[in-house]
Amino acid sequence: MAAIELDGLERRYGERVALAGVSVRVKEGQTLAVLGGNGAGKTTLLRVLAGLLRPHGGRARVLGAELPDERWKLPGSIGYLGHEPLLYRELSGRENLAYHARLHGVAPARVDALLDAVGMAQRAGDPVRELSRGMVQRLAVARAVLHEPALLLLDEPRANLDPAAAERLEPLIGRASGRTRVLVSHDVEGTMAESDVILRLKRGRPAAEDEELYR
Amino acid sequence: MIVAARAILRKDLLIELRTKESVPAMTLFTLTVYVLFHFGLDRDSLDGELASGVLWVTLLLAAVIGVSRLFAAEREQGGIEGLLLAPVDRTALFVAKAASLFVMLVMVELVALPAFGLLLLGPGLGGALPELVAILALANLGVAAVGALVAALAAETRARELIVPLLLLPLLVPLLIACAQASEPFLRQDQGPEDLGRWLGLLTLYDVVFVLLSVAVFDYLLED
């Protein structure tokens, strides 16, 4: 069964076209790599798939929900790791995760297990504003997978992580997690190596295989 | 819904406790305005209609500050996205935000009311305190409901500092009239209730209408 089906997807910001003619099909458990330069529409695509932005044209079906009409079906099924960590700076890592756990109806024990899994148990009581970017990213990963989502939308998931931390997070967000994933990264080779389906975007439109994406 | 509303409320109050942004600003604003009235009117004490008007206009203007900041953490730290991605009924968000504003208003009033009594009021507050507390409770409920609605409307706009007072203050006019009229007899030298039931009834009606209206439309406010 397809986890994601896009057919001629369109999204505009006012007059500006951010996505047009985007079509792709991703089966359950597969990884979709979205490649493209700055402004190619990668983040917009992730936000449409998360149900945070309405598509303006074409067809989009995510986890069986037709967008935008059935967007209400998505909350709780998607783990979203975007540019912002979605963590409150004045709260500690543990308080942030406990807050999201309550919103998702997740048992509190999972918070401690995840803090341990991302290597943040020691600093779990520190306010997020006092943590390094890498530590915040680890907490953001924990937040994204807290509710065991069926679909992971990952925008530069390894940004700010040292190699040891990146390796530590692999079971949570890597191919080993077994989840359907959409992966956006500027690490072209690494991303392609761990993907089953590749979508190349240039200025919001699908690019041909031989087309240079980063000029 | 109750679990989510409690989680959001707890988070909001914890952030306010740590940042100390809204309540101290609202309180300081209120005290400053009372001092300005004290000197601007060049009177040692006020009573009756003037006292009631000064009390309520100041409290409602202070509420504008709280409403403007009500979605600040969600807006600036991605909290809205976090909420939209969670299986949370939007009504829970409305209830939590309204409750958060209600608590902040009560905290401001705990300082503002005695300060008003000391700085501006002639007759003193003591004898009419139970009635004033009832009026304040109903007023706070109305301000909290309208405030949460307006804050959500303005949350995703660029000119939110302009939009909040422009939307909020006209919506608060009926509440101001009822509060000022209900309080006026208790702020006179010859204290005594006059049509208190009528004004409390109007306040209750205002609260019910805006709570129901807010619950009905809140679902659509945070949509893209």
Which residues lie closer than 8 Å to A37 by C-beta, 6 or more apart?
A: A202, A213, A214, A215
Q: Strands A205-206 and A31-35, how do they pair?
A: unpaired
Q: How much is the pLDDT for B192?
A: 66
CB-based contact B77 A89, cutoff 8 Å: yes
Q: Which of residues 6-35 of B touch A (CB under 8 A)?
A: 6-8, 10-11, 14-15, 18-19
Percent of chain B, pLDDT > 90? 62
Query: What kind and span of H or E run contains A170?
Result: helix A163-173
What pLDDT, on a 0 to 100 scale, did the predictor assign at position A176? 81
Average pLDDT along chain B: 90
Helices (H), B43-195: 48-69, 72-76, 79-85, 90-119, 129-155, 160-171, 173-183
Distance from CA of B7 to the nearest CA of A (A): 6
Q: Note whether B224 and A54 are within 8 A (CB).
A: yes
Mean pLDDT throughout B100-122? 92
Does residue A17 contact residue A204 with C-beta atoms inside 8 Å? yes
Q: Per-residue pLDDT tens for A121-169? A: 999 999 999 999 999 999 999 999 999 999 999 999 988 889 999 999 9
What distance in Å separates residue A184's CA from the closest CA in chain B?
A: 19
Q: What angle do CA A167, A168, A171 make, to 5 degrees?
A: 90
Residue A113 confidence (pLDDT): 95
Q: Which segments of chain A have a pLDDT < 50? A: none
β-strand pairing of A180-184 with A151-155 = parallel
> What is the pLDDT averaged over residues B89-109?
95
Instruction: Please give the pLDDT value at position B20.
Output: 93
Comparing CB atoms, the residue among B4, B81, B223 nearest residue A103 is: B4
- Distance between CA atoms of residues B78 and B84, nearest Å: 10
> How distant is the Cα of B217 from the closest Cα of chain A, in angstroms?
16
Question: Can you give the three-state secondary structure of B5-61, one letter per residue?
Answer: HHHHHHHHHHHHHHHCCHHHHHHHHHHHHHHHHHHHCCCCCECHHHHHHHHHHHHHH
Instruction: Inform me whether the C-beta atom of residue B161 falls under 8 Å from chain A C-beta atoms.
Output: no
Q: What is the pLDDT of residue B43?
A: 80
**What pLDDT is stored for residue B191 in this prediction?**
65
Q: What is the C-alpha to C-alpha distance for residues B138 and B132, in angstroms, rounded to an integer?
A: 10
CA distance A173 to A157: 8
- Interface residue ranges in chain A relative to chain B, Cβ cutoff 8 Å: 50-54, 75-76, 78, 80, 82, 84-91, 95, 99-100, 102-105, 127, 143, 147
Mutate to test the interface with A, among B18, B85, B219 (most CBs of A within 10 A): B85
pLDDT the model gives residue B136? 95
Confidence of residue B195 (pLDDT cuts 50, 70, 90): confident
Q: Is A75–B84 a contact, with Cβ atoms under 8 angstroms apart?
A: yes
B171 reaches A (C-beta below 8 A): no
Answer whether residue B189 shows pLDDT above 80: no
State how far the alpha carbon of B140 is from the alpha carbons of B20, B73, B189, in Å.
Answer: 20, 22, 26
- Cβ separation A86–B81 shorter than 8 A: yes
